[in-house]
Structure 1
């Protein structure tokens, strides 16, 4: 799927204020969020001829095009309803492709024979295509030191900070937000809210256990465990062989979509000290591996002899 820079801010902006220590205020920066979507897979189908006499044959011509720039996997095309037509070859109604690369085109033909009819009949020929793909999100978090916050407050200066967010293009989008505007003061509790949104025309039929993960900067973020579980529906994991500066959350049960989105997952986090740095920026990387199903239909007419 095409990665596109959705929000790149490098501005001097008064966007609001946060309280620190109960009395101090500092200028903060809100990253702009926009969304764009594209279906990973485009499916074109043509019935030829689209009008036949009973007992005659017609063919469904399918063309599958990967419209993204990431390979999709385990692609299965199934003709689910042939109406008053019979497949000439029974196995032709299901076709699988191990992968379809970016801009690659795959084709498949299904030959059908019209059944006998008493009067003209318009048939809806239905099909479904499922595949596996991945959605990604990369978003920054900025943490400001207490001394810098005090300096900004005393001098009335504005905070210069660059916040970057990169969202993959596809039918599944990852929404990840923080409860406090940025930059967030060091040693401050805040909440992370995240959910998955199905913005496409198909259905997300599977996001399995451990299918949604979020990597976070351990050197900048600590887990707030004083009030019990850090997250609902996400487990903190230890990643063997991975840098000690990277932590990860992962779902411990399958996620379900209701009205085109999952429920919002809430995590209690805390910013760590930034040391001698004035402001430090870390990055959250979120990944969702999903199975997606698209459905469609075309029509053909059968006439009696």
Structure 2
């Protein structure tokens, strides 16, 4: 039986590391990966979960945790920021998480394991959550939505350098013809159509040096560059593909903005806040 002093210490430890801007935790599902959180002072039955996924540099996980902290506090949301480090297989590869699979690693399952772990820690059952990612995180977000639409109530896809179109005539990652072979998952068109989707990119986000696939590259395949030359072009192609499948897409082309995550998150937060008002009003 715990003593009063032990209970006090446990409360202090929780207040220090598990509430507000938290410590960084290794994920139980796979300790090669980590996450941190923003947790509001009180968690109740209406508290929602928002997941924010970093880009290739990985440093944006803290930008998103801190940049969404006030949003989380005033909109009653826990903010979960996963960390997928470079080279978990020891090879220095930077982009595995963007394509959902790297060797034996299934990044979609890693995220779902993190959500399950956080849900248990805070006594909630977040079977559906909102997902936002920018740049490399935009890769992750739209592909996760294709694979697991029924786990999401919203997906905000920011400036993805490459896109997977809902093309049943092409293999993954360019299309979705072989989803069952690669992931053991059938494409759920009806489920995806129920997800509220935002796509956003700056109209000055026009650099192509990092996003043009070339023969011999790790993710080169026929059709890799067919969706367009620039990020705005590729995101428009993704919008058309999603809308053809019955998905309603809000498209934000942000004037005067290049490849800058912090200059678009206010639009992401406006999108999510509007959806939260609808959910809670209903």
The alignment's TM-score, normalised by the length of structure 2, stands at: 0.29
Higher Rg of the two aligned structures: 1
Give the structure, 1 or 2, with the largest relative contact order (CA under 8 Å, sep 6 or more).
1
Greater helix share, 1 or 2?
Answer: 2
Higher strand share: 1
